[in-house]
Amino acid sequence: MYEIEFADEALADLKWFKTYEQNEILDGIEANLYYEPTSETRNRGLLRPNQTSAWKLRLGNFRVYYDVDTSLNIVLIVAIGLKVGNLVLFRGSARNL
């Protein structure tokens, strides 16, 4: 079982969403990342090398970007965004990943 931690930036991203959306995101994180965060599925996958994170979780129109430390069993959520068309919006505006 992995421990879930949130970066300050990810907490700010989460607070931008409405309460029911926050609950949906947190439920999705719990359901998908507590036990096997490094196994690829239809909604969870390894990203190409970038500066933000190694992994992405797709929860409907929400995107959760995270890193995994397998030696300490920690999942670090680094960013949470909203997918709109071809863009991912963070706190209402586009940000480079």
Residue 16 sits at φ, ψ, to 5 deg, of: -70, -30
pLDDT value at 97 more than 80: no
Q: What is the mean pLDDT of residues 59-88?
A: 96
Which domains are present in the chain? 3-94 (3.30.2310.20)
pLDDT value at 96 more than 70: no
Digit-coded pLDDT (tens) for 47-61:
999 998 999 999 999
Q: What is the pTM of this model?
A: 0.94
Q: Tokens 């929400």 — which residue?
A: 62
How far is residue 10's CA from residue 95's CA, in Å, rounded to a whole number? 13
